[in-house]
Each structure stands twice: as C-alpha cells, then as structure tokens.
Amino acid sequence: MRLGTLMAMVAVVGAVVTVGPARADAGETRMYLKSGWFSLHETLGGSTFVRDEGWMHGAGVARKGSPGAGLDLEGLLEVWGGNLSYDGHDLRNTVPIRSRTTYLGTREEVTLGVPVAVAATLTLEPYLSVGHKFWIRTRSGEDWNSIYVKGGVEAVWKGKSCSVFAKGGPLLPVYTRNHADLSDAGYGDVVTYPRSAVGAFGELGIRHSRLSVSVEYEGFRYARSHNVPMQPNGTPPGVAATASQAFQPETSVDWISLRLTYHF
C-alpha cells in the first residue's frame, strides 16, 4: 500500500472529524504519516514457525480536547498496510516456504488523560486508552480483530523554541479473534482466539511549531490459543494443526516506525 493512498483515505476522515460547530475548547487535531520495520513471529515449541517481516506504512488523524474536570479526551483513526516477506513452513513444519504476504488494517482508539503541570516547563499526563485493531493477512487468508487496553504516562518538556515529549507503558489485548478463510485451498474456515499476553508501547519525539517528529514502538503479544475443531482435510501454512484440531501459535507483533505529524 502506497503512503499517498493511505494519506488520501485519512484526509477524508480528517475532514469529517475537524468540520463541525465551534466549541469553547477548540482542541487540537493531528494528522500524521509513519513508516518503519514490522515483524510478526509465530512460535512453536520454542522455534519460529512463521516470520513476516518488512516495511509497513500508516497514516492517521487524531482529535484532542477537554471535556472538562481537568481531563483530556482524544479519538484516533489510523489506516496501515504493507507487503512483507513470508518465511514459514508447511503444515507439519518440515518443508520451508518462502513467499510474500500483504497486510492492510485499521485502528480506532480513545484515550482519557489527566494532565498535571509539575513545573513551569514540564507536564505529566497519566492516561488510559481503549482501542481496536483490524487487519487482513493475505498469505494465510486471515483476518484479525483485536481489542486492547494500554496505560502509561506522557511527559512534555517545553523549551523556548521546541518541546520534547516521551510516553510509554504496558499494552494488553483483552479480546482477539483470528479467522482463516481456507476455501481457496479446499478447507473449511478456522476461527481461533489467541489468548492475552502483555506487550508494550512507547514514543519519543520533538515538536517545533506545528510539526513534530517522533520514533514510535508498538509491541503486541498473544499467547497460544486453545485448540478448535477443524475439517480433517487440513489447513494451509500460517495456521498450525494437531490431528483434527487447529490453533494459533504464540505470536509477537512488533512495529518500530518514524512518525511525521502536523498539528492544527
């Protein structure tokens, strides 16, 4: 997916988000582009079963304002995608497979924070976010839905001409559903529910006037799902199987990206 296409989609969403009646608290809108290295690893018995790696791109829009009571409320929409290398094995984990896979996804997130001015130039803001990520993964005919929560603290130091910000904390997917469409290979569909495991996120950046540049990390962790029944004629690479049952292996998803943001 090209960055230009992603940005065009976000521009439409941004227009809808930012056009509306004036409020006493005008708030702030952010539009951003990001690009960086993405990897997904599936692990079986301590060894890598499937590895997707490559450049991933994204674009998003966020709106932040104060609903009162000293709180900050932010809503975020993001689209992302990329074409990655696929390094995996056959169903029995015996024959190596090298190929390509395409990802295309969305993210929606709501954040509630409490900004606290601890000094004239320093603000700390504890916050809690609830979000949803959806993505398709073409090599294995999969679509994922993951609802997550994350919490942390953002620190902002304001200098004379710029400000420096940093934030981070734990990230937990509380509900995840992975659907694998196996019809093209002559198999029945498989739906697994990867279990929750604790990941992490963080961002470090600098802002001058209306522009900011930052480095962002997001790491999701999923424990192995329970076994689910499947058709006896098997499943293609990307979904592991035991006899007549399938499961989603232990999975880690990491994305380190450079983000360019325009504030208005």
Is 28 part of a structural domain of the chain?
no
What is the reported pLDDT for 88? Answer: 85
What is the reported pLDDT for 192? Answer: 95
Question: Which amino acid, one-letter code, is at 256?
Answer: I
The pLDDT of residue 28 is above 80: yes
CATH number at residue 230: 2.40.128.100
How confident is residue 35, by pLDDT bands cut at 50, 70 and 90?
A: very high
How many domains does the chain divide into?
A: 1
| Choice between 197 and 241, residue whose per-residue pLDDT is larger | 197
d(CA 125, CA 107): 22
| Choice between 19 and 122, residue whose per-residue pLDDT is larger | 122
The residue range of the domain holding 219 is 3-20+33-263
What's the pLDDT tens digit per position in 158-204?
A: 999 999 999 999 999 999 999 988 666 556 788 999 999 999 999 99
What's the pLDDT tens digit per position in 46-95?
A: 888 899 999 999 999 999 999 989 999 999 999 999 999 999 876 556 67
What is the reported pLDDT for 237? Answer: 54
How confident is residue 12, by pLDDT bands cut at 50, 70 and 90?
A: very low
- 45 sits in the region (left: phi over 0; alpha: psi -120 to 50; else beta) called left
What is the reported pLDDT for 47? Answer: 85
Mean pLDDT score, 116-120: 95
The DSSP line for the chain is --HHHHHHHHHHHHHHHH-S---SS--EEEEEEEEEEEEEEEEETTEEEEEEEEEEEEEEEEEEEEEETTEEEEEEEEEEEEEEEEEEE-TTS-SEEEEEEEEEEEEEEEEEE--EE-SSSEEEEEEEEEEEEEEEEGGGTEEEEEEEEEEEEEEEEE-SS-EEEEEEEEEEEEEEEEEE--GGGT---EEE-PEEEEEEEEEEEEEETTEEEEEEEEEEEEEPPPPEE--TT---TTSEEETTEEEPPEEEEEEEEEEEEEE-
Is 27 part of a structural domain of the chain?
no
d(CA 235, CA 180): 9
Is 26 part of a structural domain of the chain?
no
